Structure 1
Amino acid sequence: MERRKIIHIDMDAFYASVEQRDHPEYRGKPVVVGRPSQRGIVAAASYEARKFGIHSAMSAQKARQLCPALIFVPSRMDVYKAVSAEIHKIFHEYTDVVEPLALDEAFLDVTENKSSLLATDIARKIKEEIRGELGLIASAGISYNKFLAKIASDYRKPDGLYTIHPDKAQEFIDALPVEMFWGIGKVTARKMHSLGIHNGAELRKCSLEMLKRNFGKNGTLYYDFAHGIDLRVVEAERIRKSVGCECTFEKDLAGHTAVIIELYHVTLELIERLKRSDFKGRTLTLKIKFNDFSQRTKSITVEKPLFTKEVLLPLAKKLLREMDLEQKRIRLLGLSVSHAEESSSASTPSPIQLSFDF
């Protein structure tokens, strides 16, 4: 069996923890990163806030109802990015095969690494360095594939360290509730429950044909995960597929002029992000969310690369004209560019037959 040694590092309540680190008066108190306005959304919540049932993507009003003493702090994305860069420096002390998933999490392939340590010891050292050098807490999961490493990192949060050894993997998966499987959300879990599937053991008893019939192409993924299979490699260089931005408005937009003005501002923000990312694509997508939370998208693909106002703004207006707004008020406008002009994929090293010792 071709086995690798993969670590998943996930920072605990990252944004909120950075704020508590930098502001001692917030420590031990319920803190969320976000705006306390009527239309504000919680971007991150400290563990003290989570005890009240507060979580990311919750409305600020709901969060305030759950915890009247809640502390709101504005987002400092530049700071979070800088801290993330410091975290990645620590990762690269041990391996250069690092795949970022977000500012606060990444996969590391330590099958071949810069130390003589076991994978579990590397994960422990990384946690210690993040705590000692940056004053932050990370959780780590270790296993032979991405699926299990990610589950392991969440298994004993916060400040977790958990290893799923290949010899124990199937036993672990069999006992795992389907809700904890990567890629299975609430809707899919409810459908599985209706089919008598509640844990990994019951999922493993299902045939591939049955899972594909009920869950489409994801059926194959669930079948593999139930059998402990995940052949995805850790990609040290991830190819950017799109660049986008969106704006949720304090008050719903009504009227053509107001929409055009905001579309102009969103287009300018998109252009700045394209420049920073050095990204040029040929497909522009407009996303609109209405005040009833319904959502529509419309795209257009052109021959020339999209990165200037002269090209992007007329196309954005064209998409808007073609969108049936039905006189609805608009809550959110978003634009994204995809279909990269040039793309290249890094070569993937072939798996190596290894003895496996965590």
Structure 2
Amino acid sequence: MLQKDIFIAENESVKDVLKKLDRTAEKLLLVTDRKNRLLGTISDGDIRRYLLMGKSLEENIEDVYYKNPTFLRKGEFSMESAKKIFLKKKIDLIPVLDEEDTVVDYIIWNQAFSEEVRPPKNGKIKVPVVIMAGGKGTRLEPFTKILPKPLIPVNDKPIIELIIEEFKRQGGKKFYLILNSKGEMIEAYFNGIKKDYEVKYVRENNFLGTAGGLKLLKRMGTDLFIVSNCDVIVKADFQQVITRHKKQNAVMTVLSSIQHHKIPYGVINFREKGLVTDIHEKPEYTVTINTGVYILSREALKFIPENTFFDMTDLIKKLIENNKKVATYPVNENDYIDIGQWEEYKNAVEKLRVFR
């Protein structure tokens, strides 16, 4: 039975596409007419390229979607031929059409291959990953009175190990952990497990904020590196992010997430003397937020003061003030998990079951 959530009309907005992509487990929607005839496809990558051109979420998708899609013809293909297309095109979904180009079915990657196999990545990341693991974790008290935040378990593994595994899947082999609060417990954990990647520990003497500890890496010897908070997981093609970072000559790229927030009340607008001018029932807002994951060029370290409390927001502002390029790379709402506060923790546990 066809899942209706993967269909979208070409007169719907970019925002509508984002909502549907977030509701489904797929990375691609089928653009169809009223009779379900295939017009094209639209993916999160198409949306990302569109948004990075400075376009509006309110525009319809007519000029955004791909109008020459790959498809299979009903009764004229085998699963083996579908496998070859998946491998050649590196796509996640192929629609099946009848003789009138009506969508009658579709095949996803996991139908053609075993569930354990994932579509090949565009490339392997060859840069180190720095994880800011020195925070106090006050938002996760009382657990963090005993354990450091990076070791808080999510399902059967600590947060920090899940973060490392996500990068390791894409080729990450070298990890720097910036430590402070209960850092010796984090060292003991990684020294006590079997691992096929390298971990180096960098110790802060004082709490230096979300960016200050990076100054301790000034002799790291790499021109580019990834930085991640220790309580977030972002699903993105990091080699693609790095390629775009270099192409834009950016000093920093901030991975962002497009979030939809619905206010569960009527919102009142009023003017002087308390006279109501309008009311909007349960309005919805779409915002782009900072995920806490970044690509940094070595040049950025020059703008971080020595042994001083300095947050990432301070670094971003400092770079912009000095006319350095700060880029962004947006991901979907469901490709970002925040585990750093109790309100999100339970959601994260459930989300991680299907995240991979």
TM-score (norm 1): 0.25
Between Structure 1 and Structure 2, which shows a larger proportion of strand residues?
Answer: 2
Between Structure 1 and Structure 2, which shows a larger proportion of helix residues?
Answer: 1
TM-score (norm 2): 0.25
